[in-house]
Every structure is written in C-alpha cells, then in structure tokens.
Structure 1
Amino acid sequence: MTTNRWFITAFSLVLGLLLGVPFMLRGQVVLGLALFGVMAGYAAFLVLTRKASETTAMLSGELGDERRKLNELRARGATAHVLSMVVVGGFFVRVWRGEDPMPFALLGAVAGVSYVAALVYFSRRG
C-alpha cells in the first residue's frame, strides 16, 4: 500500500471517470454521472474523515506505523478467505444446478496459483 495520502483519493476519482465516461458516451448520462458521483463521494469521505478515524486513514493509504500495517495485512487475509469461500461455494452451486461452473473454476485456479506463487516467493525472499 502506498504512503502517499492523496493516491487513493486520486485513484478513486480516476476510477469514477473510467466507470462513468463509457456510460455517458453511450447516452446514459445520468448513470455515468451517478457512477462518477459514487466514486467522488467515496474520495471526499476519505479526505474529510481520515484525520478523525483510523480506519478511513488506513483506507486512504496512511499506514504509518507497524500496527496499522499489521491490521491492513490481517484485513487482506480475511478478505482472501471470504473471497475464496465465495468462489468455491459458487462453483458448487453451479455444479448442483447443472450450470457451467467454469467461471468459478477459473477464478479458483487463479487464486490457487497466485497463492502458491506468493508462498514460494515470500518463503525464498525471507
């Protein structure tokens, strides 16, 4: 994660443009503006609350001390576990319904390969 406190704010605005502009170009101006507005609102929320809340400070990329870095690492791990369970659950649901399970199988394969690759990399790196 970056330590530049404006990176996440700027990135949110860029994502808002990347989400909103295609809809606006297709004539769905209200939807495009709404999507940009959601991302701009998120960026504004982070800017306005990061001094008062440690959570929003971490969401905006301010990971100054070791405790914040450890909390962010733990949150990543929890997210990975939840997403892995959703992918496996989605795979089984699609199989049981007789539908094509390949989208979930591919996501599971990407997750498994990237996890093993990360373990190999970090175990050798130290």
Structure 2
Amino acid sequence: MSTDHEPGTTRGQRWAVPALGLAMGVGYIAIFLARHDPGMAVAGFVIMAVYVLILVTASRRSEAAAMLRGQTTDERRHAINRRASAFTLNVLVLVLLGGFATELIRGNSGHPWDVLGGVAGTTYVLATIFFSRRG
C-alpha cells in the first residue's frame, strides 16, 4: 500500500508531476485563448486539474496512482515503470507505422508520420548504443 510520505521520496519528487500537470493546464489556457477558443482553454485546464487531483488523492491508496505521480521508490516500481515504458513504446511505434502506411496507401507523402517514426527509431538506436556502453 502506498502513502504520500514514502521513504526515499522527497516532497519535491511527490509534487513534480502534479506541478507539471497544472503548468500544462495553464499552458493550454494560454494557447487556446491565443487561438480565441475560450471553451477549449477551460476544458484543457479542467482536464489537467482533474487528472492532478485524481493522482494526488488516489496515490495514498493506489500504487499505480503513486507511480503515475512519480513515486518510483523501490526496485520493483522501477521495473514496473521500465516494462510499462517499453510496452508504450511498442504500441506507439505500431501506431506511427500504421499512420505512415495509411498515408502512403491514400497517396500522400506520409508526413508527419515519417518524421515521428524517424525520431522514435533514431532515439531508440542511439539510446541502445548509449546504454549498452554505459552498462
């Protein structure tokens, strides 16, 4: 069971993800107001604020919410985070390749799927080289 005051977690670490979420919400307000879309400005902020509120309140009772909040305090949680990240990467690559293929089938250039897929592939190759040398 997870608590808000886990050993090895500083106050700053516990509040980094919620603070970033609220900052993104404020960013949405600025972007959508600049685009003259106050409805989306409010909706964007509310979505982020509700997400942060759920993380903060649920992280006391839910290990998954605590991890989403950034509380990876032990090796087990680090392993879960690595597995979830790898799974997410695999799904994202499938979506990028599917989007690229769909655009080519439609007779289009494949852009922006080609750039996003290239960034993902290049990052993966470089990270593999880096981490294999680093140990």
- Does TM-score exceed 0.5, indicating one fold? yes
Quote how far apart the aligned CAs of 1:22 are.
2.3
User: In the alignment, what sits opposite 1:56?
Assistant: 65
Quote how far apart the aligned CAs of 1:74 are.
0.4
Percent identical across equivalent pairs? 40
One-letter identity of the residue aligned with 1:57? A
Instruction: Choose from 10, 22, 25 the match for 1:13.
Output: 22
User: In the alignment, what sits opposite 2:31?
Assistant: 22
Q: CA RMSD in A?
A: 1.2
Determine the C-alpha separation between the residues in 2 that align with 1:96 and 1:31.
33
One-letter identity of the residue aligned with 2:90? H
Determine the C-alpha separation between the residues in 1 that align with 2:125 and 2:34.
42
One-letter identity of the residue aligned with 2:19? A
Mapped contact 1:24–1:33 kept (Cα < 8 A):
no
How many residue pairs get matched? 124
One-letter identity of the residue aligned with 1:104? W
Residue pairs, 1:89-104, within 5 angstroms: 89-104=98-113
Structure 2: tracts of 5 or more residues without a match: 1-8
User: In the alignment, what sits opposite 2:121?
Assistant: 112
Quote how far apart the aligned CAs of 1:27 are.
3.6
User: In the alignment, what sits opposite 2:133?
Assistant: 124
* Structure 1 pair 27–109 and aligned structure 2 pair: CA distance change class (3 A): closer
Instruction: Choose from 67, 87, 94 the match for 1:85.
Output: 94
TM-score calculated relative to the size of structure 1: 0.93
TM-score calculated relative to the size of structure 2: 0.87
* Structure 1 pair 14–95 and aligned structure 2 pair: CA distance change class (3 A): same
Determine the C-alpha separation between the residues in 1 that align with 2:121 and 2:54.
35
One-letter identity of the residue aligned with 2:78? K
Greater Cα shift, 39-48 or 94-103: 94-103
Residue pairs, 1:34-73, within 5 angstroms: 34-73=43-82
One-letter identity of the residue aligned with 2:98? G
